[in-house]
Amino acid sequence: MALHCGTFCFWTVASHPPSSVKLSQPTIKASSFSSPLAPPLVKLNVRGKAFPGDGTPETKESPLVVCFGEMLIDFVPTVNGLSLAEAPAFKKAAGGAPANVAVGISRLGGSSAFIGKVGEDEFGYMLANILKENNVNNEGMRFDPGARTALAFVTLRSDGEREFMFYRNPSADMLLQEDELDLDLIRKAKIFHYGSISLITEPCKSAHIAAAKAAKDAGVVLSYDPNLRLPLWPSADSAREGILSIWETADIIKISEEEISFLTKGENPYDDAVVHKLFHPSLKLLLVTEGAEGCRYYTKEFSGRVKGLKVDAVDTTGAGDAFVAGILSQLAVDLSILQNEDELRDSLKFANVCGALTVTERGAIPALPTKEAVLNAMLKPVS
């Protein structure tokens, strides 16, 4: 239940206007990197950029993943298990699901770009710089002179789960307009990834729909993570309707157990028959995340479950985004993984470890793992 007061709303999550202008920014080309890895002890079918015989990365860029939506500042408490009022201090961290995915892909050695809007303020420029520092193309970012960058204060329970208090009334991310879209950047993508928060209000809703249409028309694969934040919507019914309004355009969908229950009005998220109700005819892959337990996968040809990596959770913020970054980084390199169950399972093991490592540190973007860290964790014997 949300309590609204002034410019913020406060709720518990179990997991999980003024005119605008474009400001010219330095051109930042999408780039990528791969960390040098120790020789693997076992065979891992994980996709990434090839290394020629001399050990130096090839200059050819990885296929581009463009992420669309919100980017904001998370204020994460330095001590778990206290209310917002009781927290002695907060650690400032960049966040926002689509931006998290973009940085996650870059950390894993892929090429990514972010499209969205922030305020023409210190936090907005800080976020643009964080993307640049993480080798994420930020040419599609816009800055609004009349609205602030969104803020979110996050309370961490003792088990690492979260409560949020958002400041957006409205925030700049809600004000992105269709004529501010970098359509050329969108059309260059191999995968276009987005959530549902950008569908809640205009003008961002129209910009979202136009961006997805441009991507679809250009043959780009569409990836959708609804990332339900119910109190941001006018009502539960409007949230369900909004999330499902673009459901059948997506090629890849990632959802959580809670989101299945919400979208099916309380049906059992562990029942395959219930999940299959959400599998539309054009869908290539439906993923259901189950936190520490791992994930389930559904395609037209096969389905199954991949176990997760058990870790001590400090902060679950960004775990789902790290998982998405993990699987999209693999699919961007080779979409044929979708037709090979063994290769898909290997890629999902990789994605599960991405999510698990992220919950061991505070904040989303600061905690996103490198490819080296993920592969090292995959090679460790299971105790």
Which CATH number do you get for residue 132?
A: 3.40.1190.20
Domain that holds residue 180: 64-71+95-147+171-379
For residue 269, being part of any structural domain is answered with yes
Strands (E), the chain: 3-5, 8-13, 64-68, 72-77, 90-95, 111-119, 136-144, 151-156, 162-167, 191-194, 221-224, 252-256, 285-289, 294-298, 303-307
On whether the CB atoms of residues 80 and 316 are closer than 8 A, the answer is no
3-state secondary structure of 255: strand
Considering the domain boundaries, does residue 83 fall inside one?
A: no
Residue type, 156: L
Nearest to 153 by CA among 72, 74, 71: 74
Does residue 24 lie within any of the structural domains? no
Tokens read off for 274: 């219930």
In a domain, 76, yes or no: no
Average pLDDT over every residue of 49-78: 70
Half-sphere exposure for 48 (CA within 13 Å, toward CB): 26
Mean pLDDT of 342-362: 96
More reliable by pLDDT, 289 or 54: 289
Average pLDDT over residues 41-50: 51
Task: Tell me the pLDDT tens digit for each residue of 135-157.
Answer: 999 999 999 999 999 998 888 77
Share of the chain above pLDDT 70, in %: 82
Name, in order, each residue with C-beta under 8 angstroms of 129's C-beta and a sequence gap of 6 or more. Answer: none
* Domain count of the fold of the chain: 1
315: pLDDT confidence band, cut at 50, 70 and 90? confident
